[in-house]
Amino acid sequence: MIDKDVVFAKSSAVTKHIKRIKNVPCKDFLTLQNNPDYQDIILFNMQLAVQNCIDIAAHIISHENMGVPGSTNEMFYLLEENEYLTRDITEKMVKAVGFRNLIVHEYVNLELKRVYEISKKDINDLEIFLKQILSKI
């Protein structure tokens, strides 16, 4: 059985990290480009927000006996198969995990333009993820 307190606590953490990202006063890309502190705040909070979404997915999959995912991405596909997520948000979460991996493992230099776009638009995908999950539990 899903421990709702765990999901709510993780959801609250995601919301907190999204708020931190949205509160960074970057009105345009040049502001972000010229301010390493803003870059760090955004990237750190993106990493933590996505990680908390991963934790939520893992908790639900484990407690609902949905199987053993072969990868982090597969967790979101399992949630979709079990009608917790729509196809659209599943694909967006897979992309979010990929971006998180770039941040954590520093595979390549991150394109700041893309970081800016994510912080202004794509970050809302995590809020949609939370709404879909919370509506099912």
Q: What does pTM read for this prediction?
A: 0.94
> Distance (Å, rounded) from C-alpha 103 to C-alpha 130?
22
Q: Which residues span the domain enclosing 40?
A: 4-136
Which CATH number fits the domain that encloses residue 29? 1.20.120.580
Domains: count for the chain: 1
pLDDT digits (tens, 9 = 90+) for 63-103: 999 999 999 999 999 999 999 999 999 999 999 999 999 99
User: In this structure, are residues 44 and 50 in contact, taking their beta carbons and an 8 Å threshold?
Assistant: no
96 contacts: CB under 8 Å, gap ≥ 6: 50, 53, 122, 125, 126
What secondary structure letter does DSSP report for 121? I
Which pLDDT value is given to residue 108?
A: 64
pLDDT digits (tens, 9 = 90+) for 25-66: 999 999 999 999 999 999 999 999 999 999 999 999 999 999
